């Protein structure tokens, strides 16, 4: 059935107490508004018009690929917002679905039911409702004794007995275009908020003898987000849906309630996610991996059989059989090829680690290309920044970097070369050679014993040091 859609998204969202427009607040990594757009988009509407106002430019720029925007410069109410969209429907005839950008839990299936019920009944309007335990804050749907919709009354305008009604207005409607815009002409702002309420259209149509049908949805789908508390509640529900989808696809979660998985994350089967894992952005994880506990992984591509423990990984590409952590930080531009390892207290940035190469302990490697089968000894770091410029190092295949080597970039280590532990290497090391830079060790016989004896005597004479 053909339809077009209007999504109302111009309100400030006062109750959010935020400088960010309400619609742009994120739920599992994606704006609240884009959930609503996606639910509509799945039903192939003729067009989607989003009414923007507060933070309109921000909202418009984020949705420009998905929908057209019209501006409501003054927020005079939901009815006024729909009126503002009128011109955008000049060349459209048929039914219009009206939604709010702040009901992100709505599903396409339910929207389809709403559209179909209007079309099949040929009613002037269909309104989405829910029976809820606590209707506070919502408009109440007034039914006649024969269960015909007579109108909607906002809570603040409702009489005590109307407030008892547990059938709420979900703020989603499907109306015949002509009926909608002609009824809107009669809407006044004679109410507690002095706003032009879209909900009055329902009463006006009913008073004019038009038929209005209602569709009941589940309480959860109709939840509106008006405060940060409701934002967190919506995120918990959407987050659970996301994790359950992964579980249905064969991913194991231990204590899933402790992990956050963004909406665009993909995980292949037989991967296990341990507690406290935060995975977001365009992250893709292969199969048979062990992720967590305690990781933050963003915009990263991970192959199969990887193990990532207690680490930060952002903007990296990790191939199969890679091991990361505990306590590693992989920054954007990190590439670890298969069998590679970034171990404990290791930071990598804009660097490639070739196949089976390892940086096991206490290292910083930046702007460096490392070949295959390389081992970077504990405590070795690249000195890639001279205070003005960043420089690159190249470490060819089969190199062994001794512990605590300072790699002063730009510098190149030829294939199969080594460095002596503790060396400060600023010149290229030839293939198969040893780079060593340290003074020769000398041993002084008996020095330590003499030193201790002297110190002990001093202590007996009343020194203040520890014994």
Applying CB under 5 A, which residues contact Ca ion?
102, 224, 226
Q: How far is the CB of 384 from Ca ion (least distance, A)?
A: 51
- Exactly one of 54, 80, 246, 361 is catalytic; name it: 361
Site for ligand UD1 contains 238 (CB under 6 A): no
368: helix, strand or coil: strand
Q: Minimum distance between the CB of residue 162 and ligand UD1, rounded to whole angstroms?
A: 12
> What does 17-43 look like in DSSP terms, one character per residue?
--SS-GGG-EETTEEHHHHHHHHHHTT
Which CB atom, from 99 or from 318, has the smaller least distance to Ca ion? 99
Q: Are 84 and 70 spatial neighbours (Cβ–Cβ below 8 Å)? A: yes
Q: Segment 94-113, which members bind ligand UD1 (CB under 6 A)?
A: 100-103
Of the pair 80, 350, the CB lying nearest ligand UD1 is at 80
Cβ distance to Ca ion smaller for residue 172 or 205: 172
Residue 205, Cα to own-chain centre: how many angstroms? Answer: 42
d(CA 291, CA 246): 14
Question: Minimal distance in Å, beta carbon 146 to ligand UD1?
Answer: 23
Compute CA distances 243 → 238, 239, 341, 433, whole Å. 9, 6, 28, 53
Residue 10 contact, options Ca ion, ligand UD1, none, Cβ 5-8 Å cut-off depending on partner type: ligand UD1
Least spacing, CB of residue 13 vs Ca ion, in Å: 8
Q: Which CB atom, from 171 or from 339, has the smaller least distance to Ca ion?
A: 171
214 sits near ligand UD1 (criterion: CB under 6 A): no
Q: Is 373 a catalytic residue?
A: no
Among residues 81, 114, 316, 407, the one that binds ligand UD1 under rule CB under 6 A: 81
Q: Whose structure tokens read 């109307």?
A: 162
The least CB distance from residue 97 to Ca ion, in Å, is 17
The phi-psi region of residue 170 (left if phi > 0; otherwise alpha if psi is between -120 and 50; otherwise beta) is alpha
From the list Ca ion, ligand UD1, none, partner contacted by residue 198 (C-beta under 5 to 8 A by kind): ligand UD1
DSSP secondary structure, 320-347, as one string: TT-EE-SSEEE-TT-EE-TT-EEEEEEE
Nearest distance from C-beta of residue 243 to ligand UD1, angstroms: 26
If binding is defined by CB under 6 A, does position 75 make contact with ligand UD1?
A: yes
Binding mask 168-207 for ligand UD1 (x = CB under 6 A): xxxx-------------------------xxx--------
Q: Which does 262 bind (CB under 5 to 8 A by kind): ligand UD1, Ca ion, none?
A: none
Nearer to ligand UD1, 199 or 368 (CB): 199
- Which of 224, 315, 422, 433 lies at the binding interface for ligand UD1 (CB under 6 A)? 224
In the complex, minimum distance from the CB of residue 217 to ligand UD1, in angstroms, rounded to a whole number? 12
Distance (Å, whole) CA 33 – CA 50: 10
Query: Hey, what long-range contacts does 12-21 have (CB within 8 A, 24 or more apart)?
Result: 12/53, 12/54, 12/75, 13/54, 13/102, 13/226, 15/226, 15/227, 16/226, 16/227, 16/228, 16/231, 17/228, 18/228, 20/55, 20/58, 21/54, 21/55, 21/56, 21/58, 21/59
| 3-state secondary structure string across 152-184 | EECHHHCCHHHHCCCEEEEEEEEEEHHHHHHHH
Q: Please say whether the dihedral angle defined by the alpha carbons of residues 202, 204, 206 and 208, taken in this order, is positive or negative.
A: negative
Contact predicate 411/423, CB 8 Å = no
Residue 51 binding ligand UD1, by CB under 6 A: yes
Segment lying near ligand UD1 (by CB under 6 A), choices 3-11, 273-281, 303-311, 314-322: 3-11
As annotated, the active-site residues are: 361
Q: Where along the sequence are the contacts to ligand UD1 (CB under 6 A)?
A: 8-11, 51, 53, 72, 75-78, 80-81, 100-103, 138-139, 152, 154, 168-171, 197-199, 224, 226
């Amino acid at each position: 059935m053909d339809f077009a859609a209007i999504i109302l998204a111009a309100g400030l969202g006062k109750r959010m107490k935020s400088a960010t427009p309400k619609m742009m607040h994120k739920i599992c990594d994606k704006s609240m508004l884009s959930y609503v757009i996606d639910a509509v988009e799945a039903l192939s509407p003729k067009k989607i018009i989003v009414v923007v106002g507060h933070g309109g430019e921000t909202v418009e720029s984020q949705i420009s690929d998905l929908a057209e925007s019209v501006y409501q410069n003054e927020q005079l109410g939901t009815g006024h917002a729909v009126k503002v969209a009128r011109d955008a429907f000049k060349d459209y005839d048929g039914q219009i679905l009206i939604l709010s950008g702040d009901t992100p839990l709505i599903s396409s299936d339910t929207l389809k039911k709403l559209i179909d019920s209007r079309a099949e009944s040929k009613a002037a309007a269909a309104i989405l409702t829910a029976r809820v335990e606590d209707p506070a804050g919502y408009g109440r749907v007034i039914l006649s004794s024969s269960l015909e919709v007579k109108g909607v009354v906002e809570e603040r305008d409702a009489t005590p007995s109307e407030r008892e009604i547990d059938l709420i207005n979900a703020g989603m409607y499907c109306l015949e275009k002509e009926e909608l815009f002609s009824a809107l002409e009669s809407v006044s702002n004679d109410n507690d908020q002095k706003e032009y309420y879209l909900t009055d259209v329902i009463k006006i149509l009913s008073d004019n003898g038009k038929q209005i049908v209602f569709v009941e949805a589940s309480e959860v789908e109709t939840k509106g987000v008006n405060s940060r508390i409701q934002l967190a509640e919506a995120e918990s529900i959407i987050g659970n849906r996301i994790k359950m989808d992964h579980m249905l696809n064969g991913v194991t979660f231990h204590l899933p309630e402790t992990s956050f998985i963004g909406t665009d994350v993909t995980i292949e089967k037989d991967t296990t996610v341990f507690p406290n894992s935060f995975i977001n952005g365009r992250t893709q994880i292969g199969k048979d991996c062990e992720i967590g506990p305690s990781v933050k992984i963003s915009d990263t591509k991970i192959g199969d059989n990887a193990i990532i423990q207690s680490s930060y990984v952002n903007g990296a590409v990790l191939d199969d059989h890679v091991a990361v952590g505990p306590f590693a930080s992989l920054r954007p531009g990190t590439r670890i090829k298969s069998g590679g390892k970034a171990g404990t207290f290791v930071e990598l940035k804009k660097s490639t680690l070739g196949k089976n190469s390892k940086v096991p302990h206490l290292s910083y490697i930046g702007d460096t290309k490392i070949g295959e089968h390389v081992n970077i000894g504990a405590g070795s770091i690249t000195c890639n920044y001279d205070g003005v410029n960043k420089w690159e190092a190249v470490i060819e295949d089969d190199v062994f970097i001794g512990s605590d080597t300072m790699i002063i970039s730009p510098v190149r280590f030829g294939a199969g070369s080594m460095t002596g532990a503790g060396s400060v290497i600023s010149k290229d090391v030839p293939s198969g050679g040893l780079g060593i830079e340290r003074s020769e060790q000398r041993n002084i016989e008996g020095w330590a014993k003499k030193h201790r004896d002297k110190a002990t005597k001093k202590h007996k004479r009343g020194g203040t040091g520890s014994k």
